Amino acid sequence: MEFRFTEEQQMIRDTAEAFLAEVSTSAAVREAMATERGYSEALWQQISEEMMWPALHIPEAYGGLGLGFVELAAMQEQMGRTLLCAPFLSTVGFAVNALLVAGSDAQKSHYLGEIAAGKTATLAFMAPGSRADAQAVQATCSADGDGFLLNGEYRYVLDGHTADILVLAARAPGTSGAQGISLFVLPASTEGVSRQWLPTMDQTRRQARIDLNDVRVGTDALMGAQGSAWPALAKTLDLATVALAAEQVGVAQQALDSSVAYTMERVQFGRTIASYQAIKHKAADMMLKVEAARSAAYYAACVADEALGGNPLGGNPLGGNPLGGSPLGGNPLGGNPLDAALAEAASIAKAYCSEAAFFNAGCGIQLHGGVGITAEYDIQLYFKRAKSAETLLGDAAWHRERLARQLLDGENV
Amino acid sequence: MKLSFSPEDERFREEVATWLAENLCGEFEPIRFRGGPGDEHSFVEERKAWEQKLAEGGWTCIGWPKQYGGRGASVEQQVVFNEEYARAGGPGRMGHIGETLTGPTLIAFGSDAQKERYLPGIRAGREFWCQGYSEPSAGSDLANVKTRARLDESSGQWVVNGQKVWTSLAHESQYVFVIARTDPDSVAHKGLGFFLMPMDQPGVIVRPIEQLTGTSEFNEVFFDDAVCAADDIVGAPGEGWKVAMGLLGFERGVSTLGQQMLFQNELDDIIRVAKANGAARDPALRQRIAEAHIGLRIMRFNSMRMLSGGGDDGSLQKEAMIYKLYWSSWHRNLGKLAMDVLGAESEIVPEAPYQLSRLQSMYLFTRADTIYGGTNQIQRNIIAERALGMPREPRG
């Protein structure tokens, strides 16, 4: 049993921690927050060219470093800890994973190569007011000569106003649910694409609206088979969910650490408030949450690694005993067992990490007392990030219901 | 990171499972899934016989070194054994205090004579032990023991006076280990001794404590000029606290996956009920059932981290520190969930006068989970002080 970092993974984590402590300071975050772009281009250049982070889990054949999902999660956790303002989750968590899951060899060569070289990307799939399921896909695609004609409106697109490359989900007119969905990848500069920043409560991560007005793309833009992309999109969203859960661990950790540090300095009634049990017990509950969240996120990262790299027809990678693998059994509806294990692990992680990050950030404000609600102290930024991350890709209740369907209704998610 | 056991450990798993399938049957069929926490009073004689059966197969004390009759099993193998044991419905272990507490303590701190005298009986599944730690005024504040031990010059024996409480299986055990004050003027953890004492003597009186379940796993044990042989003190007088704390360090998480298997059985029961009575269609209960499932899965992931070691300096890891607070809180919630899923039926007791169902008994007994073995409040103090470095509580 080696459910811990290897030496190499520990090194990657430590390097990320040290680098981010330098570049993603409170001042840097606040400077990025004040811009419409939402991040520093110079920093992104450094991240992509010097650190090569976007290339982390891109296979070497496509110009990447060929590392795994655990390394990605380790990095994402550190980004959460410092609230790094950068289009990393959008580019890597969403777009790279979409390309890895659904891209053709030519698409991977072209776009993953560009991303490894510093281009940014994102995935757009949600219609206004929708939730992160198949029904969220409302943009349409229809055959148009040799290619397709895309129309529709997306909201909640991470870094959608600045991304260089877009992965888009659209459905054949008249279809619903999981039927009729296709994925496309295209440059954001394609004619007919218009994009607009949507200001958000969490100022540390940007969202945008994207409108498609008769956007014409060739068949080379289509990812996978036409009309049957829901499993690929669902798997992409599960992978992005795992990356996001790891980020939430970092948010939860920093909310705890900064709050403990504050209570060790703040003196009332002649002693540091950290010496009161009312404070200590709250901090202990916060530590329980973050440690359990960490276990869930890294378990999911291990499963994601298998699901991304593993042979889709392979056996259960999680060992022979039923509790070790998914206790929900194989796949009654005939899906890929690795993908089913990923879906379960992603929902467990997202449900728990969402609440852990929110709990810790909320308690963090309380432990900070009056200064917790000022703009000056960073805990408010963690509180806002915790909430936006909870909402993104399904909140805790949404993921619990997804698990309940498996547990109680015998459905494959 | 890897999530699987090694092929050797999987072969060991197979061996355990096969032996249990071939032996935990026939006369032992009725005791499957019995005698666990909250049910320790059940089938005592049968469970004692089962201990001897286990011993014949070489399945007692598997983590002990081979020279003392164990298998020298690795932590992983012990985990695998406990997991398979729970999966097969292995009954609550009558010998677990001797095997997991007395034995390792003697192996670490005992004299050669003590090892020779006590280890074989534990290994053979014939001699059972209970634990004499808590007292009416020494609960969370365990060092506040008042029980006294005095070396009687004329008989050359230790004479023990005082009272212990919350002693599981006291009336079924031949021996008890006791911490008692050897220096009457000492306070707190100084001046204590660690004693090995026979239960069957006039100076030891056992009184069962009836619990809210109507059953009595726990007892009060009174020592009224009870005697202990001069050479049955472990370590020197005054070293009792060191010996007792060393013993707490022997819990390395080997039983956690077995415990989780029992929890999984309970959750499976609840899900069966929910599907049968329609609770599975109630949105609020669906959320709580999913939450219980999530909580149990993460409990396993926590254990896997614990078992993977981590802290190179040998310090207690953070995931180990949260473990008790985590599982006890989860289990207490599960108890309430069970009753809420049962609905109106939850009140009806299967047999008069007060024979509770498994889930009812679980529900009531989970209120003890957050108290024994360090209350949730003590656990939070430990986490805050040792893991987060917050100021220690003032001690009187």
**Helix residue ranges, H only, chain B:** 7-23, 44-56, 75-87, 96-97, 103-109, 112-123, 240-248, 256-277, 283-307, 318-321, 323-342, 358-369, 376-382
pLDDT at A281: 98
Stretch A308-316: mean pLDDT, rounded?
Answer: 49
pLDDT tens per residue, range B96-118: 999 999 999 999 999 999 999 99
Active site residue B251: yes
Verify that B176 and B233 share a domain, yes or no: yes
CATH code of B157's domain: 2.40.110.10
> Taking CB atoms and an 8 Å limit, are A327 and B264 in contact across chains?
yes
> Taking CB atoms and an 8 Å limit, are A323 and B379 in contact across chains?
no
Q: Is the pLDDT of residue A326 over 60?
A: no
The pTM is what?
Answer: 0.93
> Taking CB atoms and an 8 Å limit, are A287 and B289 in contact across chains?
no
Domain boundary among B76, B94, B112: B94
- Nearest alpha-carbon partner for B79 in B16, B141, B131: B16
Q: The dihedral of CA B319, B324, B326, B330: what is its sign?
A: positive
pLDDT tens per residue, range A54-70: 999 999 999 999 999 99
- The string of DSSP letters for B129-166 reads EEEE--BTTBSSSTT----EEEE-TTT-SEEEEEEEES
CA nearest to A303 within chain B: B3
**Hey, what's the torsion of the CAs at B233, B237, B242, B247, to 10 degrees?**
10
- Residue B396, helix vs strand vs coil: coil
The verdict on residue B267 lying in a domain is yes
Q: What is the pLDDT along chain B (396 residues), one digit of tens a residue?
A: 777 788 999 999 999 999 999 999 999 999 999 988 778 888 999 999 999 999 999 999 999 999 999 999 988 899 899 989 999 999 999 999 999 999 999 999 999 999 999 999 999 999 999 999 999 999 988 889 999 999 999 999 999 999 999 998 899 999 999 999 999 999 889 999 999 999 999 999 999 999 999 998 899 999 999 999 999 999 999 999 999 887 666 555 677 888 898 999 999 999 999 999 999 999 999 999 999 999 999 999 998 888 887 544 445 577 788 999 999 999 999 999 999 999 999 999 999 999 999 999 999 999 999 999 889 999 999 999 999 999 998 876
pLDDT tens per residue, range A35-51: 999 999 999 999 999 99
Closest CA–CA distance from residue A326 to any residue of chain B (Å) = 9
Residue B59 gets the label, from left (phi > 0), alpha (psi -120 to 50) or beta, of alpha
Write the residue in B2, B319, B384 that is nearest to A283 by C-beta. Answer: B384
- Nearest alpha-carbon partner for A403 in A292, A252, A241: A241
> Taking CB atoms and an 8 Å limit, are A283 and B390 in contact across chains?
yes
> Taking CB atoms and an 8 Å limit, are B83 and A321 in contact across chains?
yes
For A152-184, b where at least 16 C-beta lie within 10 A, e where not — what string? Answer: bbbbbbbbbbbbbbbbbbbbbeeeeebebbbbb
Stretch A118-142: mean pLDDT, rounded?
Answer: 97
- Nearest alpha-carbon partner for A224 in A262, A172, A184: A184
- Residue B20, helix vs strand vs coil: helix
> Taking CB atoms and an 8 Å limit, are A319 and B280 in contact across chains?
no
CATH code of B55's domain: 1.10.540.10
Question: How many other CB atoms are found less than 10 A from the CB of residue A34?
Answer: 9
Verify that B288 and B378 share a domain, yes or no: yes
The verdict on residue B114 lying in a domain is no
Cα separation of A249 and A349, whole Å? 10
Compute the count of residue pairs across chains A and B with CB atoms less than 8 Å apart. 170
Closest CA–CA distance from residue A222 to any residue of chain B (Å) = 35
> Taking CB atoms and an 8 Å limit, are B390 and A280 in contact across chains?
yes
Cα separation of B194 and A276, whole Å? 34
> Taking CB atoms and an 8 Å limit, are A408 and B291 in contact across chains?
no
| Cβ atoms of A239 and A342 closer than 8 Å | yes
Cα separation of B141 and A400, whole Å? 40
Q: Give the percent of chain A with pLDDT over 70.
A: 93
Q: Residue B260: its chain A contacts at CB < 8 A? A: 323
pLDDT tens per residue, range A349-388: 999 999 999 999 999 999 999 999 999 999 999 999 999 9
Q: Please count the residues of chain A.
A: 413
pLDDT classification of A317: cutoffs 50, 70, 90: very low
pLDDT at B396: 65
pLDDT at B319: 76
Residue A129 gets the label, from left (phi > 0), alpha (psi -120 to 50) or beta, of left
Verify that B375 and B266 share a domain, yes or no: yes
Verify that B48 and B135 share a domain, yes or no: no
CATH topology of domain A7-119: Butyryl-Coa Dehydrogenase, subunit A; domain 1 (1.10.540)
- Nearest alpha-carbon partner for B31 in B47, B17, B52, B16: B47
Verify that B136 and B185 share a domain, yes or no: yes
Measured CA distances, A300 to A92, A307, B306 (Å): 17, 10, 17
Cα separation of B364 and B213, whole Å? 6
- Residue B222, helix vs strand vs coil: strand
Verify that B265 and B226 share a domain, yes or no: no
Domain A123-223: assigned CATH number: 2.40.110.10
**Hey, what's the torsion of the CAs at A358, B293, B94, B308, to 10 degrees?**
-60
* Given B83, B251, B266, B385, the catalytic residue: B251
The verdict on residue B280 lying in a domain is yes
pLDDT at A412: 63
CA nearest to A68 within chain B: B1
Q: Where are the domains of chain A?
A: 7-119, 123-223, 230-409
CA nearest to A319 within chain B: B4
Class of A230-409 in CATH: mainly alpha
- Count structural domains, chain B: 3
Q: Residue B77: its chain A contacts at CB < 8 A? A: none
Verify that B165 and B283 share a domain, yes or no: no
Verify that B203 and B311 share a domain, yes or no: no
pLDDT at A324: 37
CA nearest to B270 within chain A: A408
Higher pLDDT, residue B41 or A326:
B41
Q: Residue A296: its chain B contacts at CB < 8 A? A: 294, 297-298, 301
Cα separation of B182 and B69, whole Å? 33
Cα separation of B274 and B177, whole Å? 45
Closest CA–CA distance from residue A227 to any residue of chain B (Å) = 32
Sequence-ordered list of residues with C-beta below 8 angstroms from that of A204, at least 6 positions apart, any chain: A29, A32, A33, A38, A83, A85, A381, A384, A385
Domain boundary among B238, B270, B292: B238
pLDDT at A315: 33
CA nearest to A296 within chain B: B298
Cα separation of B74 and A360, whole Å? 37
- Nearest alpha-carbon partner for B174 in B214, B117, B133: B117
- Nearest alpha-carbon partner for B322 in B258, B274, B387, B266: B387
Q: Would strands A140-144 and A147-158 be described as parallel, antiparallel, or unpaired? A: antiparallel
Q: Residue B381: its chain A contacts at CB < 8 A? A: 277, 280-281, 284
Verify that B229 and B265 share a domain, yes or no: no
Q: Position A294: which residue type? A: R
> Taking CB atoms and an 8 Å limit, are B1 and A323 in contact across chains?
no
Write the residue in B83, B290, B388 that is nearest to A260 by C-beta. Answer: B388
Closest CA–CA distance from residue A215 to any residue of chain B (Å) = 42
| Cβ atoms of A127 and A139 closer than 8 Å | yes
Write the residue in A6, A301, A404 that is nearest to B286 by C-beta. Answer: A404
Closest CA–CA distance from residue B215 to any residue of chain A (Å) = 32
CA nearest to B258 within chain A: A323
Q: Residue A279: its chain B contacts at CB < 8 A? A: 390
> Taking CB atoms and an 8 Å limit, are B383 and A288 in contact across chains?
yes
Residue indicated by tokens 């029904």: A135
| Cβ atoms of B94 and B44 closer than 8 Å | yes
CA nearest to A274 within chain B: B390
**Hey, what's the torsion of the CAs at A14, A19, A20, A21, to 10 degrees?**
90
Which residue segment(s) compose the domain that B162 sits in?
129-238
Between the two ends of chain A, the Cα-to-Cα distance in Å is: 29
Write the residue in A5, A292, A403 that is nearest to B298 by C-beta. Answer: A292
Output DSSP code: residue B172: G
Closest CA–CA distance from residue B10 to any residue of chain A (Å) = 8
pLDDT classification of A318: cutoffs 50, 70, 90: very low
Closest CA–CA distance from residue B257 to any residue of chain A (Å) = 9
Each as own residue / partner, the long-range contacts of residues A321-324 (CB below 8 Å, 24 or more positions apart, any chain) are A321/B5, A321/B13, A321/B83, A323/B83, A323/B257, A323/B260, A323/B261, A323/B264, A323/B300, A324/B3, A324/B4, A324/B5
Between the two ends of chain B, the Cα-to-Cα distance in Å is: 46
CATH code of B340's domain: 1.20.140.10
Q: Residue B391: its chain A contacts at CB < 8 A? A: 271-272, 274-275
| Cβ atoms of A36 and A97 closer than 8 Å | no
Write the residue in B308, B383, B391 that is nearest to A272 by C-beta. Answer: B391
The verdict on residue B245 lying in a domain is no
pLDDT tens per residue, range A276-305: 999 999 999 999 999 999 999 999 999 999
Which of A285, A291, A328 best tests the B interface by mutation, with the highest count of B CBs <10 A?
A291
Q: The dihedral of CA B360, B364, B370, B374: what is its sign?
A: negative
Verify that B77 and B150 share a domain, yes or no: no
Q: What is the 3-state secondary structure (H, E, C) of chain A?
A: CECCCCHHHHHHHHHHHHHHHHHCCHHHHHHHHCCCCCCCHHHHHHHHHHCCHHHCCCCHHHCCCCCCHHHHHHHHHHHHHCCCCCCHHHHHHHHHHHHHHHCCHHHHHHHHHHHHCCCCEEEECCCCCCCCCHHHCCCEEEEECCEEEEEEEEEEEECCCCCCEEEEEEECCCCCCCCCEEEEEEECCCCCEEEEEECCCCCCCCEEEEEEEEEEECHHHEECCCCECHHHHHHHHHHHHHHHHHHHHHHHHHHHHHHHHHHHHCEECCEEHHHCHHHHHHHHHHHHHHHHHHHHHHHHHHHHHHHHHCCCCCCCCCCCCCCCCCCCCCCCCCCCHHHHHHHHHHHHHHHHHHHHHHHHHHHHHHHHHHHHHCCCCCHHHHHHHHHHHHHCCCCHHHHHHHHHHHHHHCCCC
> Taking CB atoms and an 8 Å limit, are A3 and B388 in contact across chains?
no
Verify that B295 and B338 share a domain, yes or no: yes
> Taking CB atoms and an 8 Å limit, are B390 and A260 in contact across chains?
yes
> Taking CB atoms and an 8 Å limit, are A288 and B326 in contact across chains?
yes
Domain boundary among B49, B72, B94: B94
pLDDT tens per residue, range B182-224: 999 998 899 999 999 999 999 999 999 999 999 988 999 999 9
Crossing angle of helices B75-87 and B283-307, in 10° steps, is 150
Verify that B278 and B175 share a domain, yes or no: no
